Amino acid sequence: MTYETTIGWSELSSGIATLLLSVLPGDSVRWGVELLPVGLAVLYLRRENTFSM
């Protein structure tokens, strides 16, 4: 069950990222590099919250 949920969230976030990069001004590679730390921070914070429950 977790596997299907992970695939679903992966596809959803990939679609959102694609749409976001298409409407942001400037080079998409630059935005991708700038958004990468944001994604890593979200993953880290979610992992910390999961273990604290």
**First CA to last CA across the chain, in angstroms?**
20
Distance CA 8, CA 21 (A): 20
Q: Which two tokens stand for residue 3?
A: 């596997």
Pair of tokens at residue 39: 């994604």
d(CA 24, CA 27): 8
Q: Is the pLDDT of residue 3 over 80?
A: no
| Integer Cα distance of 4 and 28 in angstroms | 29
Q: Three-state DSSP class for 19?
A: helix
Digit-coded pLDDT (tens) for 8-52: 778 888 888 888 888 888 887 887 788 888 878 877 877 776 655
Q: Note the pLDDT of residue 31.
A: 79
pTM as predicted? 0.51
**Is residue 53 predicted with pLDDT exceeding 60?**
no
